Structure 1
Amino acid sequence: MDLRTKSDEELHQLRIDVLTEQERRHRLADIPDQIAQLAHAYEADGGDLADLSAALNKTE
């Protein structure tokens, strides 16, 4: 892809698309750790991890 041939609008859209994809990848990398931390806090506060497992397996 030759960026020099792209219009300003095309470059702007490409930039948005790249940032959106980077954010998606970061979420995919971060969410499992966040869930593990929340599950630990939930269990430490007296919650049943089976309830969390059931919630993760729900489909709408």
Structure 2
Amino acid sequence: MSFPKLIYSIAVLVIIAWVLSMVFRLAAWLINGLLYVAVLVVVIGLIAQFISQKKQRK
């Protein structure tokens, strides 16, 4: 393999690694955000269940 092709291949690999790291960062950000949404939904569900059980007792 000639030297310019080797340099080009290394540059392409570096760019691919950078793009993959950005994709993984985006995925981690989305998962982190969805985790907060899931916790909020669970808390609201528990409160709604508690209120409905309290109304049934009366």
C-alpha displacement at 1:7, in angstroms? Answer: 1.3
Instruction: Report the number of matched residues.
Output: 42
Partner of 2:21: 10
Higher deviation after alignment, 5-14 or 29-38? 5-14
RMSD over aligned Cα atoms: 2.2
Q: Rg larger in 1 or in 2?
A: 2
Which structure 2 segments of 5+ residues have no match?
A: 1-14
Which structure 1 segments of 5+ residues have no match?
A: 47-60
Identity fraction in percent: 2
Using CA pairs under 8 Å that are at least 6 residues apart, name the structure with larger relative contact order, 1 or 2. Answer: 1
Q: How does 1:20-35 map to 2 (within 5 A)?
A: 20-35=31-46
